[in-house]
Amino acid sequence: MTKTRENELAAHGFFWEEGLQFPLTKKETTALVSAALEEDDTKHDITTAATVLSNRRARCRLVSRHSGVIAGLPLACEAFEQLDRAVTMRIDHADGSRIEPQTPVMFLSGHARGLLSAERVALNFVQRLSGIATMTARYVDAIAGTGAHILDTRKTTPLYRRLEKYAVRCGGGLNHRMDLSSSVLVKDNHLATAEGDIAMAVKHARDLAPSGMKIEVECETLDQVRAALDAAVDVIMFDNMQLVDLREGVKLVDGRAVTEASGGVTLSTVRIIAETGVDWISIGALTHSAPALNLGLDFD
């Protein structure tokens, strides 16, 4: 798929991608982190109050225990700042950085009580988002040189979609539609309620959708691919198709639409799927099944 084609889709809101700009405003970040600190009741950290003098200062560093990709540091910084307005921080590896085991990601100096009480909330944010970024990077690396792109889905944690899709971008992946209003995606259940008539579903979508909005249809068979092509859709998703049908589907489309493979993709199969010639490979596991990256806060 050409860059011009990607830009065309992006211009109409089908393909939501904003580089590595952190997706939350300062106000949103403050509110989210404040709620997380309150959930952990950091104002009543009995252990820290009992064991650490109120005037004690400390230095520590955020360290990666395993290799991976960092994401979510603005949330960690906010957590430490809310509990110690005078904390000083130095980030050596920003969001999107690839790191090796035992790599210091950031250094902090401040009141010991604030650092200790904010530790878990800060780590929870960064470990979760870095896990998504790390898994995404592994898929991106697996298809290097094929011309295909790794995309996420809407299978995200409720209310955390912008953060999790940001983490996908940190790992080198791209974002599919952000929400239901971003584009038309006719899936199997839509077709089931439209008597399986792709032409009718697409026509009604064009009549109702804003002018210029792109339309994608999920296809489970080659006959559905042909029907989607006849309807002149913009994107055709090959849903859980066998490799032989994927290859045939790409040949059928022949550049007349963007092609997307989806369903049951794993690290062991993603390369061979990419080699069929599809433009996109969407993977729900990036956001719903990524294990947290092991990070720790080490005090001097």
Active-site residue list: 120, 155, 187, 218, 239
Q: Please choose, from the candidates 74, 79, 42, 103, the residue with its C-alpha nearest in 3D space to the C-alpha of residue 166.
A: 74
Tokens 């395993």 belong to residue: 66
Three-class DSSP category at 260: strand
Q: 187-212: string of b/e by CB count within 10 Å (b at 16+)?
A: eeeebeeeeeebeebbeebeeeeeee
The two three-digit tokens of residue 124, written as one number: 């929870």
Residue recorded with tokens 């691919």: 225
Estimate to the nearest angstrom the gap between the alpha carbon of 244 and the chain centroid. Answer: 29
Neighbour-count burial of 170, counting CB atoms closer than 10 A to its CB (0-12 exposed, 13-18 middle, 19+ buried): buried
Q: Which two tokens stand for residue 3?
A: 């860059």
The neighbouring-strand residues paired with 90 are 107
Question: Are 222 and 248 within 8 A, CB to CB?
Answer: yes
